[in-house]
Structure formats: structure tokens, C-alpha cells
Structure 1
Amino acid sequence: MWRFKPFMQKEHNGLEGRAVDVGNLKIHIRNAIAEGGFSCVYLARDALHASKQYALKHMICNDEESLELVMKEVSMMKSLKGHPNVVTLLAHTVLDMGRTKEALLVMEFCDKSLVNVLESRGSGYFEEKQILLIFRDVCNAVFAMHCQSPPVAHRDLKAENLLLGSDGLWKLCDFGSASTNHKRFEKPEEMGIEEDNIRKHTTPAYRAPEMWDLYRRELINEKVDIWALGCLLFRICYLKSAFDGESKLQILNGNYRIPELPKYSSLITNLIKDMLQASPDARPDITQASALLDWPFISVKLG
């Protein structure tokens, strides 16, 4: 999971202070702003236009699997380029360092994540209109992914992966977990591989029931994102998780409670209930979810 470091002091390891060329961009790398297991995101400035800021994601690839994840992320961001609710990839390169490869992705800079915003609110709940504006942006990005052929599941939708752009729009990022491998797992050896994949590349608090128990033999497809959207909408509304992430039985049974306060309209509470159906077949798809809210989704020519 990403750990954002808004007040971090400058470190002297890593890439801080270096000047690098990535594609056609020349950039100066400044301080680290977020870090994960094998990757780190830095604030960077354009060497020729100092007022231009970027986010530089640096990933160390120790094996073919991690390099494949990087290339999947790059491919996904390219296919969604131009969408207002997806973080824009501006340039990328992969450096051969001998034993390892290192990927550098230059992206538009967004100075806040949704998790920052939620955690800094204390008990100051959002008004319903604010909730719908945030959620509409998220759903627009998911809509663009699910409308691909075949549909692409993000598989790691969460507050940490939603960033606020300089244009005031919320943008989805981190596409390394995205998948078009929609299937029902029948063989024990296949299940073992998929369970490992799920454990490594999805987040427990947003993980759909069918991902927790493959022996249910339910189809695992883009409906896992609908469950995650239900968890996300709950968190935006009530500033806490619907499930604590470790309560496997609660998640498998779709067992959670809508708090009495703050009071939101049935439009929102019904949407949470529809999205958090334990059976994927009972959940709406992203188009049906938009119809429930009567939203015209953004139709964007990508590329």
C-alpha cells in the first residue's frame, strides 16, 4: 500500500537531486512524496520550464513478473490517455541496470490523494453533493475501463489510488493490478496461483467476496470493481471502512451496517447496498450503477 509523505524531509538516498531524461522530457528529481514496496514516487520539475511539475514513479524490477506489471501499467495508461479522470502518463522509459531493470514513469502531478482528504476531515462529513461529485469522477474512470474490449478490471480501486488533479477533477492511478483475465477457477493448482496473485495485488478492505473464497467458483471479472466502489462510497460517506479488511466472514456474507448518522438520501444508501451484494451477479454493472444515479457518463475519445 502507498504511504504518502507530505511533510517528509529530504532523503539523500534514492533519486533525489538527480537530473534524468525520460522520453523527450528533461527533469530534475526533487523529494519523494509516496512509497510502496518496490517503488517510489517523486516530485520532479521540468529542466527547461521550472514552473512545470511532474510525478515521477520509479520502480525496481527484480524479475520478469515485476517488469510485466510495469508494462501492463504503461499499456493501460496509454489506452486511457485523454480521459479527464485518469492520471496522464507523459513519458516512460525502462533502464537495464544489469541484474535488475528500473522503470521511470513521468505523470501529471496531483498534490492530494483521496485518502489524505478523508483522513484529514476528522468527523467533518461531506455533504451529499460533494460525495456525488467525487464518486462520479471515480465511476467515469471505471466506466472507461469496463467499456474496453474485453472489459478491464482495475482490481485495486481504493482511496489511495484516487488523486486530485490541478483541474479539480479526481483521477484514477496505479494500473499494475488491472486484468482482462475474467474466469471461474476450477482446478486447485489454478486456484493457488490466483490466490497468490490476489494476495499480492489487491487490498483486503476492498476485496470482493469471490476473491476471498475461490471455492465458491464464482466468475471473477470486472464486478470486483463494483464491490470495491461500494466500499469506497461507504468510506467517503462515513469516513470509515464498511469492513475492517480482516473480517473475512463478514465480507463473504456481505455483513455490514449503514450508520444512522450522518443521514444521506436513499439514492446513496441504496447504491451502497446494491454494490455490496455478496454475489457478483446481484451487483449492477457500471452502466446500471450510472442509471441508478441518472448520470450521463463522460464520453471521451481516448488516445
Structure 2
Amino acid sequence: MNSLGLSLILKMGCICAKETFTVNGRKYTVREHLGEGGFSTVSLVEDSLTHKKYAVKKIVCHGPEDQRLALKEIEYHTIIKHPNVIECIDSTHKGTADPVVNATSEVLLILPYYHKGTLANELERRGKSSDYMNPNEILEIFLQICDGVKAFHEAKPEPLAHRDLKTANIVLGEGLTPVIMDLGSVAQARIKVCGAHTAQTLQDVAAERCSMPYRAPELFNVDSYCMIDERTDIWSLGCILYALCYFKSPFDTVYERGDSVALAVMSANISFPESAPYNEDIQQLILSMLKANPMERPYIYSVIEHAHDVLAKLEGRV
């Protein structure tokens, strides 16, 4: 057999051979690569016994801090139990990360598989044909997202913030039920920043883990002496509601052009497309969350109350 024929067979063998792995006695077969972020990859897998499909998130840790954060993500899944926050079905970790000997470890999370994809996918599809959702539907989806966020903000023993809320981190269940995913950026919500070192560390973490078009202004340029709280998520919610209405975050276009998102965000200059069928009430709800000064932003309870008021008005109940 010539070398070309042999190489083709070898290549076909690689394609046909499915990767398998075991988590706590259950065997899974990898079916498809779904995506990757800065710290992890997500694959579609099948339980070898039941043939049920799941998503597996694999985090490769290069050092003790990576490993600590990955295990913390599993812990946050045990703290946050809510129908609008993704469930972690099972998890495991293998090895010990040690940069001295170039050793890595792996943390695996078995998650439900949502075949409808993300809210970002849905909005991109709708955006191509200017297929606007009706305002009632938008507010119903938004209120469910808010309920999920409230679970983080009410966490015990201390409030948590998601810190990377965006349409790409919301998967869609049946009937467009939104489910918040990716708890890799979750952190203690309330941080008292005392000094330039703490400020720079927080700013660096935000730059790594919080997507620019949805990142709150106080995380772009962290003051040396300030208080950061859960209202970083409220800014992101404002961007998500804007995207539900107009298909993209108000800062996506700036990002795509390569202009300074930080400047655009810190100026908080929001404009609304005139062609979309949304009234001033929804726009005011968006603007109430997109306040450059976090102290002027509402907490999640006020956002939910305001959204319910706008919805009631739309339905003619007030």
C-alpha cells in the first residue's frame, strides 16, 4: 500500500475513533465539539449506557490558582440551585496542576445539553431578517433571567455576582426559557477596594473574565478606593435587555469596529434604533440599568419590580 493510502486510512481512523471518558463510574462518548472560551472547552457527549446527551465542560488548569478557581466553579453550582441557572449534573477533577514540572490538571463538569443553543444564536438569527420579538415576550424572558440573577445576589453566606452575564452565556430551554450558564466568572459580589494593588488585580481579572460589550464601567477602570458590588450584573442586564430588543449589546458595534469599548461604556451614551417597535417604557427600563455610576443603578429587586410594571402596562392591567 502506498504511503498516501496509509495516511488516508490513519486519518479516517482518527475521525472514526470516538473519545471516551469516565466521570464517577459513568462512561461518556464525545460526539461533537461545541465551543471554547479562554479557559475551557465544551463538547457534546453521550452517556454510553442511557444514550442521553449532555454537554461537558473541560477546564485545563496550569497552576494551583487555576485549579482553585475551577473547583470553586463546582462549589458555586452547589450553592446556586434555580430553574434559570444551569445545573451541574456531575463533576470530577484529575491530576494536580504544578507549573514547576509543567503538570496540568483537568476539571470536568457534566451539564445539561440545550439543543436550541444560546440567546446570542437566537438573536443573531432574528437580526438577519429584523425579526423583532414582541415586547411582552421580551419582558417575560428578561424577568426569568432576572430571577436567575437574583439567586446569585441572594446567595448565602454572602451575595455572589455572575460578572459575565451576556446573551452568549444564556442557553434556551423549551419555550425559549432562558438558563444562565458559565459560572467560571462568579465571584464574591461585594469587594471593598483599598489600594492600587487590589484595584489592579480586580481590573486584570475583569479583563480576563468579563466580556467587554457587557462589562460594567467600574470594572474597566477600578478606582484605588471604592466599593464594587452586585450592581456590576445590573449593568450587564441592561445590555442584555437592549440586545433582546435590538439583537446586540449597545456596545457590540463599537467592539466590532475596533473602537474603544471602555470609553463608550464609561460615557454611557446609549442610542436606540428608531425602526424597532418598542416604546419609551422599555427604553427607560434599559436606561435605569445603564448608569455609569454604579451607586445610581438599582438592585435586582427594583429591576424586577420595574419590569413587572412595564409588562402590566403593556398588557393593559394598569
Q: Give TM-score scaled by structure 1 length.
A: 0.87
SS in 1 for 2:171: strand
Residues 48-59 of structure 1 correspond to what in structure 2 (within 5 A)?
48-50=49-51, 52-59=52-59
1:94 corresponds to which letter in structure 2?
A: H
Q: Do structure 1's residue 154 and structure 2's residue 154 form an aligned pair? A: no
Q: Does residue 212 of the first structure (1) align with residue 220 of the second (2)?
A: yes
- Supply the distance in 2 between the matched residues of 1:92 and 1:78 (Cα, whole angstroms): 11
Amino acid at match of 1:285: Y
Contact 2:90 2:110 in 1 (8 A): yes
Seen in structure 2, the aligned counterparts of structure 1 residues 215 and 265 have a Cα distance that, compared at 3 Å, is same
**In structure 1, what is the equivalent of residue 118 of structure 2?**
113
Task: Please give the residue correspondences for 1:233-252 in structure 2 after superposition, counting only pairs within 5 Å.
Answer: 233-243=241-251, 244-245=254-255, 246-252=260-266
What SS does structure 2 have at the residue aligned with 1:89?
Answer: coil
- Residues in 1 aligned to 2:164 and 2:182: alpha-carbon distance in whole angstroms: 8
Q: How has the CA–CA distance of structure 1 residues 166 and 23 changed in structure 2, closer, same or farther, with 3 Å as cutoff?
A: farther
- Count of residues in correspondence between the two structures: 282
> What letter is aligned with 2:244?
I
Q: For 1:34-93, what per-residue CA distance to the aligned partner results, in whole angstroms no more than 9, with x for missing partners?
A: 11234211111111112x110011111111121122112111111123x21111111000
Q: 1:223 to 1:28 in 2, by over 3 A?
A: same
Query: Counterparts in 2 of 1:71-110, with a 5 A limit?
Result: 71-81=71-81, 83-96=82-95, 99-110=103-114
Structure 2, unaligned runs of 5 or more: 1-11, 98-102, 310-318
Query: Are the counterparts in 2 of residues 210 and 216 from structure 1 also a CA contact under 8 Å?
Result: no
Q: Give me the CA root mean square deviation.
A: 2.1
Q: Secondary structure at the match of 1:27?
A: strand
Are 1:275 and 2:285 matched, yes or no?
A: no
Matches within 5 A, 1:94-243: 94-96=93-95, 99-111=103-115, 112-121=117-126, 122=128, 123-149=130-156, 150-166=158-174, 168-180=176-188, 182-215=190-223, 217-243=225-251
SS at match of 1:268: helix
- TM-score, normalised to structure 2, is 0.83
Partner of residue 316, structure 2: none
**Alpha-carbon contact 2:235-2:289 (below 8 Å) kept:** yes
Cα pair 1:85 1:172 within 8 Å, conserved: yes
- Alpha carbons 1:11, 1:31 under 8 Å: kept: no
Identity of aligned residues (%): 33
Q: Contact 2:196 / 2:224 at 8 angstroms: preserved in 1? A: no
Cα distance in 1 for residues equivalent to 2:31 and 2:19: 8
Gaps of 5+ in 1: 1-9, 296-303
**What residue identity is the alignment partner of 1:18?**
E
C-alpha distance in 2 between matches for 1:75 and 1:97: 18
Which aligned runs of 4 or more in structure 1 are off by greater than 4 angstroms? Answer: 10-13
Asked if the contact 1:33–1:43 (Cα under 8 Å) also holds between the matched residues in 2, the reply is yes
SS in 2 for 1:143: helix
Q: Which residue does the alignment assign to 1:28?
A: 29
Amino acid in the other structure paired with 1:115 = A
CA gap 1:103/1:216 in 2 versus in 1, 3 angstroms: closer
Show the counterpart of 1:63: 63
Higher helix share: 2
Secondary structure of 1:137's match? helix
Looking at CA atoms only, which structure, 1 or 2, has the larger radius of gyration? 2
